[in-house]
Structure 1
Amino acid sequence: MSDLNYGLHSATDSNNRRLSTIPLSILDLAPITAGSTATQSLQNTLDLAQHAEKWGYLRFWLAEHHSMPGIASSATSVVIGHVAGGTSKIRVGSGGIMLPNHSPLVIAEQFGTLESLYPGRIDLGLGRAPGSDQLTSQALRRGPGSDGQDFPERLRELRDYFQPVSGSSMRVRAIPGEGLNVPIWLLGSSGFSAQLSAALGLPFAFASHFAPDYLLPAFDLYRGHFRPSEFLEKPYAMAGVNVIVADTDAEARRLATSQEQQFLNLIRRRTGQLSAPVDSMESIWTPQEKALVQRQLGFAAIGSPETVRARLEEIIQETQADELIVAAQVYDHKARLRSYELLAEIKNG
C-alpha cells in the first residue's frame, strides 16, 4: 500500500507549508440540535458531505460517540456508508472507531464491506478511548471492558484480518476484508498512539480540537520515532482544529457559543442536544469554567475570513501539520455550510 492509497499528499517543505499547500478535511459529529431529530441530523451530514466534495475537501470523517443525545453518529460504519453512497469522490471514514468497544473481526468485516462498496475511498481511523461513559462502555462490551492497554494487540488482530490468505485456510477470516487495502490511521490525544503510529509507520491524527495541550509534544514524539513502512516513507501528521467562519468576527463568535455551551456541558457532566447560539456566555459560565472551555478550544480559528486565515497560518507554522481536519459545531445548518464554504474560499483564494 502506498501513500496514494491513503489519499495523502506529499508533505511540502516546512518553509512553504501554508494553508494553500496542505489538504483540508472535515470531522463531522453529526450534531443533533435542540428541538431537532437524528433523522434531520443525518440528512444534514450527507448534505454537508456533498457540498464538501464540491468545495474540494479531501476527506469526510465521522466520530464514534455513544449515549450522547447531541450526536447521531454512534453507528459510525453505517453513517459512513450513508455518506459514501451519497457522494462520488471524497474520502469517507472514521475519526474514529473506538476499537476497545468492538471485536476486531467485526470492524474488519464492516470496513471490508465499505471498501468493497466504495473502492479507494474509505479510511479507517482508530482510537483507544471508549467514546462514552463507563456504564455505556460496559453495555457495549457486555462485561468488564478494556482500559485501552490491549489496544496494540487488538490492532494487530484487526490488521491480520486484512492480510491475504492463500489456499483454503481454516483460520478465522474477514470476508469481505481479507486482502483489501483499507488505510488505517491511529488517532489520539496523548503520546500513546503517537508512539504506536511511529513504530508501525502509520499516519497519525491528533485530537487537538478538544485536547490541545499535548499536540506539539505528541507530534514531536511521532516524528522523532517514525519508522518507514510499506505504508509510509515519511511521517504524516494531521491536526484537529475547530474552525467557524462568518462574514464578521462578531457573527462567528456568536455562532461559536453553541460549541462553547457544548464543552461547558461536558465540564458539568451534562448531556444534551446542541444549543442555539447566545449573545453572551458571561451569564452562563463562571470565570473558572470559561477558562477551562477556552483552554480546550485552544486550537481554534473563529472569525471573519481574514481572521481565520491568519489564525490557521499560525497553527500550520506552529504544528507543521501535513493536513488539518476541521470541526464546526454550528447550530444552524445553513450557517455551518456557509462556514465551510468560506473556509474553502480562504484556502483556494
Structure 2
Amino acid sequence: MKLSVLDQSPILADTSTQDALHQTTQLAKLADELGYHRFWVSEHHSTESLAGSTPEILAAHLAGQTKQIRIGTGGILLPHYSAYKVAEAFRVLETLHPDRIDLGVGRAPGGKPNVNLALNNDRFPNIEGYPKQIQDLMGYLHGEDPQNMDILATPKGESAPPIWMLGSSGTSARLAADVGASYSFAHFINGRGGSKAMERYMNFFTPSIQQKEPIGNVSVFAVCAETDEEAEYLAASLDLALLKIEQGRKINRFPSPEEALHHSYSIFEQEQIQENRGRMIVGSPGKVKQEIELLAESYLVDEVIINTIVSPFKERLKSYELLAKAFDLKKN
C-alpha cells in the first residue's frame, strides 16, 4: 500500500508563518527520503492558523527541494481562476519536473465568504461552471483547444500532470467519474459516507484522455507515537483546534498539548471531540497501521494520504517516521 502526505502548513504554538513554510519544506524532504508516494499542499485564504495560501508556488519550491516524491496541490480552488491560466502554470511545473506533478482541484471557497469576492473582483465565482472548467482544464493540459479559440496551453510537453478531483461528498465523486479524473476523498473533513462516495466514483467512472481506469485515494488525520498514551497526549492539541474552528472561534496558532489538557471542556464539547475522532486515527504504530489498512479497504483504494497536525514540530516528523517504519516504506 502507498502512503502519502497532505500538509496544510499549520502554524504551531510558539512558531511564526515563516516557520510553518520552512517546516513544510523540511517535512517534504523527509517524506521524500522515507519513501512516501506523494506530498500535497493546500489552499487556504485569510486563515491565520494555516500558512498555505498559494499551493502552486509552494509546489514549485518543494519540487525543487525533493528528488523522487510526487508533488501536488490539495488543491487549487478552480472556480476562482481561469482553467487556461491554471493549465499553463502546471504545464510549466510538469516541464520542470516531468511525471512528478499532481494537479489536485476543488471547488470550496477556501476561507471566509468574502474570500470569494476578494478573489473574483467583487463577484461570486460561477460554481455551476465547475464541471466545464474541469473538462477545459483537462483538454488544455493535454494539448487540446477545448473552447476552439485557436490557443494552446504552453509549454507543450510529452507528459501532463493528472487532475485529482478533491471532495467530501457523493456529488464530487460522481463528477470525477463523469469527467474521467482521479478522485481523492477528504475523510479528515467528513468522516461519514466516504466509502459510498468512492464506490460511486468507481462504478460510474468514464475513461478520458487522462486515464482509462478509476484511481482513488483517501486522506485522514493521523497521530502516531511510540505508545497509545503518548499519541493521545499529542492528539489533544488537534482535538482542541478542531473544536474551536467548529465553534467559529478565531485561532492564529494550533494549541500545544499542554494547553489542550488544561482546557475545561463541557459535556457537549467532549461529545463533539469524540465525534471528530471519526476523522482521525490515533495510536501506536501497530494500531495506526491496522486502522489505516482498514480505512483503505473500506474505500477500495491502495493509497492513504496522512495529515498530521501536532505540536511541537519534531513530533510531527516523528509521527511520519514511525508510520514509514510500520509500513516498511522503501527509503530513497
Compute the TM-score of the two structures, normalised by the length of structure 1: 0.87
**Which deviations, in whole Å up to 9, do the C-alpha atoms of 1:116-161 show, x marking residues without a partner?**
2111110001111111111122111112212622210221222232
Report whether the alignment pairs 1:265 with 2:244: yes
Counterparts of residues 52-131 of structure 1 (less than 5 Å)? 52-131=31-110
1:337 match = 317
When structure 1 is superposed on structure 2, of 308-317 and 191-200 the one drifting more is 308-317
- What secondary structure does 2:213 align onto? coil
How much does 1:261 deviate? 1.8
CA distance in structure 2 between the partners assigned to 1:31 and 1:47 by the alignment: 13
How much does 1:36 deviate? 1.6
Q: Structure 1 pair 160/232, CA: closer, same or farther in 2 (3 Å)?
A: closer
CA distance in structure 1 between the partners assigned to 2:122 and 2:96 by the alignment: 33
CA distance in structure 2 between the partners assigned to 1:218 and 1:209 by the alignment: 14
CA RMSD of aligned residues (A): 2.1
1:231 match = 210
Report whether the alignment pairs 1:300 with 2:280: yes
2:268 match = 288
Which residue of 271, 278, 297 maps to 2:258?
A: 278
2:327 match = 347
Q: Structure 1 pair 289/137, CA: closer, same or farther in 2 (3 Å)?
A: farther
When structure 1 is superposed on structure 2, of 134-143 and 62-71 the one drifting more is 134-143
1:146 match = 125
Q: Structure 1 pair 184/159, CA: closer, same or farther in 2 (3 Å)?
A: same
AA paired with 1:91?
A: R
Which structure 1 segments of 5+ residues have no match? Answer: 1-21
Report whether the alignment pairs 1:315 with 2:289: no
Which structure 2 segments of 5+ residues have no match? Answer: none
Is the Cα contact below 8 Å between 1:299 and 1:315 reproduced in 2? no
How much does 1:82 deviate? 1.2
Is the Cα contact below 8 Å between 2:162 and 2:182 reproduced in 1? no
CA distance in structure 2 between the partners assigned to 1:186 and 1:165 by the alignment: 20
Is the Cα contact below 8 Å between 1:194 and 1:219 reproduced in 2? yes
Q: How many residues align?
A: 326
2:199 match = 220
Report whether the alignment pairs 1:135 with 2:122: no
CA distance in structure 1 between the partners assigned to 2:162 and 2:290 by the alignment: 32
Is the Cα contact below 8 Å between 2:103 and 2:161 reproduced in 1? yes
- What secondary structure does 1:35 align onto? coil
CA distance in structure 1 between the partners assigned to 2:262 and 2:185 by the alignment: 30
AA paired with 2:241?
A: Q
Is the Cα contact below 8 Å between 2:281 and 2:292 reproduced in 1? yes
How much does 1:106 deviate? 2.0
Which residue of 22, 26, 30 maps to 1:51?
A: 30
**Which deviations, in whole Å up to 9, do the C-alpha atoms of 1:247-267 show, x marking residues without a partner?**
111111111122112211211
CA distance in structure 2 between the partners assigned to 1:236 and 1:160 by the alignment: 19
**Which deviations, in whole Å up to 9, do the C-alpha atoms of 1:232-284 show, x marking residues without a partner?**
33322211111111111111111112211221121111232111113765844
How much does 1:313 deviate? 2.7
Is the Cα contact below 8 Å between 1:92 and 1:121 reproduced in 2? yes
When structure 1 is superposed on structure 2, of 294-303 and 104-113 the one drifting more is 294-303
AA paired with 1:317?
A: E
How much does 1:216 deviate? 1.6
> Between the two proteins, what is the percent identity of the paired residues?
35
Is the Cα contact below 8 Å between 1:245 and 1:303 reproduced in 2? yes
- What secondary structure does 2:19 align onto? helix
Report whether the alignment pairs 1:246 with 2:215: no
Is the Cα contact below 8 Å between 1:127 and 1:186 reproduced in 2? yes
Q: Structure 1 pair 165/231, CA: closer, same or farther in 2 (3 Å)?
A: closer
How much does 1:92 deviate? 0.2
- What secondary structure does 1:220 align onto? helix
Is the Cα contact below 8 Å between 2:224 and 2:283 reproduced in 1? yes
